[in-house]
């Protein structure tokens, strides 16, 4: 299962709107040995599925094998036949499933079909790891929103920028590489119009050979005031602009290549919950938020951020950028008891910087529950 999870992680950010799934086929070997005969991960765009790829790779050696898969095999007919049928036809003897699929078209039916055909099924192996990996799929199906990761770069004195609004490179090269890897593992990256105006970013993955892994770009722009000449509109992945409905300025952005997603505004601006619901409806499962203080503050106050990645530089703002003026920051959950609910998941050095990963308290267990694993286990118990 660890191998299957590793395979799935490779395609995070590429498989949406489908979940990134990994599958490993293991055939009995001589004595206590076993041979891996098939490997698969959900392909870019969500097709073909991991199980089908692994079965095709194994060929005849799939007969009698065990399939380890990170998400319950589908049992419904979509653009491709069900994966449960592929496993049955291949002669798989046993299937080990990490978590159930909350999709109502599956929801335990894949496991039930396999068992009905005499295939032994074991559920819940490394369930929390798989639930976190498939968190975007689970939240999109059950809560109508993507998994949200907020990334912030902080100076040693806790600022994210200076009052003069010029672009500042707070962290070092190693951290920027890490952030580009983060971008590659998300379906979309979101910033506010202020960031576009101040920095004119590309928001792509600029690591060698990884340009095609760049996420879709989303800009929050209530009045569609973003410049049609912005760098991100010149090339790269699609750009979606989320703003108020029926805005006359939207036509210029559409002409420049942006897709306009109108969202009903509250107090002149679309609410974070409404933005996330719209993105989920468009198929986004994993969203990385990389905006400035206003956007970061809005997302934090919404209570809908699942993971926070803090990159802290070793120097104070005045040492990094003397011309930046007074610094400003955001109130972080772990520094404000009233906005708590997060726990430190990881902390490590990245070049001269320090990266801290905060995760919503109890998130993994919550995702396992949302996946429907408890219902699947109950069905097994009822069936004897």
| Residue with the two structure tokens 């989303």 | 218
Over the stretch 191-217, which tens digit does the pLDDT of each residue have?
A: 999 999 988 999 999 899 999 999 999
CA atoms within 13 A on the CB side of 257: 13
3-class SS of residue 318: helix
**Residue 19 counted as domain residue:** yes
pLDDT averaged over consecutive 10-residue blocks of the chain (384 residues)? 96 94 87 81 90 94 95 78 91 95 86 94 94 96 97 93 79 95 96 91 92 95 91 94 80 92 82 96 97 90 94 92 84 59 93 95 93 69 40
Report pLDDT for 384. 35
Active-site option among 51, 72, 290, 354? 51
d(CA 97, CA 114): 11
Nearest to 207 by CA among 189, 230, 233, 182: 182
The beta strand positions in 235-341, using DSSP E, are 239-243, 259-262, 265-266, 269-270, 286-289, 307-312, 327-328
Do the beta carbons of residue 138 and residue 130 sit within 8 Å?
no
User: 240 is in which domain, residue-wise?
Assistant: 138-362
Same domain, residue pair 330 and 316: yes
- Do 5 and 130 form a contact (C-beta atoms < 8 A)? yes
- Considering the domain boundaries, does residue 368 fall inside one? no
* Chain position carrying tokens 């089908």: 52
Does 51 participate in catalysis according to the annotation? yes
The residue among 218, 284, 203, 275 whose CA lies nearest residue 244 is 275
Domain co-membership, 25 together with 66: yes
Alpha carbon distances (Å) from 38 to 23, 56, 61, 93, 267: 8, 8, 9, 14, 54
pLDDT at 121: 94
pLDDT tens by residue, 134-175: 999 999 999 999 999 999 999 999 999 887 766 788 999 999
Whether residue 156 sits in one domain with residue 18: no
Task: Quote the number of domains for the chain.
Answer: 2
Report helix, strand or coil for 122: strand
CATH value at residue 154: 3.40.430.10
Q: Could you tell me if residue 198 is inside a domain?
A: yes
């Amino acid at each position: 299962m660890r191998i299957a999870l590793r395979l799935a992680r490779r395609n995070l950010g590429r498989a949406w709107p489908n979940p990134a799934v990994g599958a490993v086929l293991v055939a009995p070997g001589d004595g206590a040995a076993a041979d891996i005969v098939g490997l698969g991960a959900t392909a870019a765009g969500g097709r073909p599925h991991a199980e089908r790829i692994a079965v095709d790779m194994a060929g005849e050696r799939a007969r009698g094998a065990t399939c380890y898969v990170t998400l319950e095999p589908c049992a419904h007919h979509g653009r491709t036949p069900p994966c449960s049928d592929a496993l049955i036809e291949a002669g798989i003897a046993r299937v080990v499933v990490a978590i159930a699929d909350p999709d109502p078209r599956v929801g335990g039916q894949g496991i039930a079909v396999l068992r009905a055909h005499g295939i032994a099924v074991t559920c819940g192996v490394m369930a929390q790891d798989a639930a976190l990996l498939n968190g975007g799929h689970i939240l999109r199906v059950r809560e109508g929103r993507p998994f949200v990761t907020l990334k912030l770069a902080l100076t040693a004195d806790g600022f994210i920028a200076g009052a003069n609004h010029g672009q500042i490179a707070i962290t070092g090269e190693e951290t920027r590489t890490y952030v580009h890897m983060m971008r590659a593992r998300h379906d979309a990256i979101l910033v506010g119009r202020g960031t576009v105006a101040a920095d004119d970013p590309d928001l792509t993955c600029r690591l060698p050979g990884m340009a095609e892994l760049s996420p879709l770009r989303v800009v929050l722009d209530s009045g569609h005031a973003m410049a049609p000449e912005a760098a991100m509109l010149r090339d790269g992945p699609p750009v979606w602009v989320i703003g108020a409905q029926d805005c006359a300025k939207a036509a210029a952005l559409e002409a420049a290549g942006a897709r306009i997603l109108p969202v009903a505004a509250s107090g002149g601006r679309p609410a974070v919950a409404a933005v996330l619901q719209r993105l989920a409806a468009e198929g986004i499962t994993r969203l990385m938020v990389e905006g400035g203080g206003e956007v970061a503050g809005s997302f934090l106050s919404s209570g809908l951020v699942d993971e926070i990645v803090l990159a802290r530089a070793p120097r104070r703002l005045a040492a990094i950028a003397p011309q930046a003026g007074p610094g400003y920051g955001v109130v972080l959950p772990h520094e404000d008891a009233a906005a708590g609910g997060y726990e430190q998941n990881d902390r490590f050095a990245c070049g001269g910087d320090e990266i801290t990963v905060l995760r919503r308290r109890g998130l993994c267990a919550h995702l396992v529950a949302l996946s429907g694993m408890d219902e699947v286990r109950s069905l097994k118990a009822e069936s004897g």
